Amino acid sequence: MSRTRFARALAMPALAFSAAAVATAAPVQLTVTIENLATANSVSFAPLHVGFHNGTFDAFNNGQAAGAGITTVAEGGSGTQWQADFGAADPTATRGTIGGALLPGASNSQVFTVDPSLNPFFTFASMVIPSNDLFIGNDSPTGFRLFDAAGNLLISSIDQLAREIWDNGSEVADPASAAFVVGGNNDARTAQNGVVNFSFGELNAFNGLTTAAGYVFNNSLNGGETVYRIGFAVQNAVPEPAGVGLALAALGLLAGVRRVGHWRSKPTANFTAA
Ligand SMILES: [Ca+2]
Ligand SMILES: [Ca+2]
């Protein structure tokens, strides 16, 4: 694959995006990859709730009592109210949920269709398990701008450290009423009446207990340890004009050759751009 070809592949989307910014939106296919990088036998994570949005949805505030939305993430992982609140605050946002329980060392990915000009910001939230009400998520709705005005991807990954785990402040730590621990009844809860704050100390209550995944929990995390990574990669080049596609389709063999080149050259271009 020649350098010229890569250069052309990189230049074409830039031109198309600047034209699209004036006229209509140009959605991209964005692959989001999540990784649990925590120490073995420490924390797992419930499904990751995500939204690509216009910067208006603020899920919670450090030092303030948690609302119902983030509490459905932190106490049970479902995020039902978080999703509903998000949709109400920003109806044109792209929202979704990635995966089931993400065990230490595991990864998962999902593709989202995102309009970079309409929804340049990224918001996320996932329950840390086992726990009663610990989670990861962004306090500032504009803290992670994924796309610039031209539609270029600005962030290739977001790391979360152990000291960036939030205690939702809504439920007292008690394995008997926690999620993801053998013997825990997650429907039970004792109100904590606290505020959202950075803390993963509650995890010590689960040391030595067996998790729902079968491993014996050990909170050996140190604050500076990366426990979670969210990666971003744009999948598609901007669609070419319909006429070009039809011409290539008519030349069946040539279209096949082009497709092979497309898939092989794309990841390199994306990694370079990111
Ligand atoms: Ca906030
Ligand atoms: Ca708590």
**115/234 Cα distance (integer angstroms):** 12
Distance 43 CA to ligand 2 centre (A): 15
- Among the bound ligands, name the one nearest to the CA of residue 197: 2
Distance 95 CA to ligand 2 centre (A): 27
Residue 135 and residue 198 in contact, taking contact as beta carbons nearer than 8 Å: no
- Among the bound ligands, name the one nearest to the CA of residue 75: 2
Pairing of strands 28-36, 107-114: antiparallel
What SS3 state is found at 53? strand
The predicted model scores a pTM of 0.79
Cis before 130 (ω within 30): yes
- Among the bound ligands, name the one nearest to the CA of residue 172: 2
- Among the bound ligands, name the one nearest to the CA of residue 141: 1
Residues 6+ apart with CB under 8 A from 159: 226, 228, 229
Q: Considering only residues 248 and 171, tell me which one the structure prediction assigns the higher pLDDT.
A: 171
- Among the bound ligands, name the one nearest to the CA of residue 135: 2
Residue-level pLDDT at 146 = 98
Could you report the per-residue pLDDT of 70-97, keeping only the tens digit for each?
999 999 999 999 999 999 999 999 999 9
In this prediction, residues 251-262 reach a mean pLDDT of 37
Residue-level pLDDT at 251 = 46
Distance 58 CA to ligand 1 centre (A): 5
- Residue among 199, 115, 109 at smallest CA distance from 157: 109
Q: Considering only residues 255 and 160, tell me which one the structure prediction assigns the higher pLDDT.
A: 160
Structure token digits, residue 57: 């949805």
Confidence check: pLDDT of 155 > 50 = yes
Quick one: the chain helix, strand, coil %, rounded to 5?
A: 30, 25, 45
Residue-level pLDDT at 12 = 42
Confidence check: pLDDT of 24 > 70 = no
Could you report the per-residue pLDDT of 116-147, keeping only the tens digit for each?
999 999 999 999 999 999 999 999 999 999 99
Residue-level pLDDT at 260 = 31
Distance 7 CA to ligand 1 centre (A): 40
If pLDDT is split at 50, 70 and 90, which confidence band does 26 have?
A: confident
**What are the structural domains of the chain?**
1-20+242-274 (no CATH), 27-234 (2.60.40.2130)
Q: What percent of the chain has pLDDT over 90?
A: 76
Average of per-residue pLDDT values in the chain: 84
Confidence check: pLDDT of 200 > 80 = yes
In this prediction, residues 100-110 reach a mean pLDDT of 98
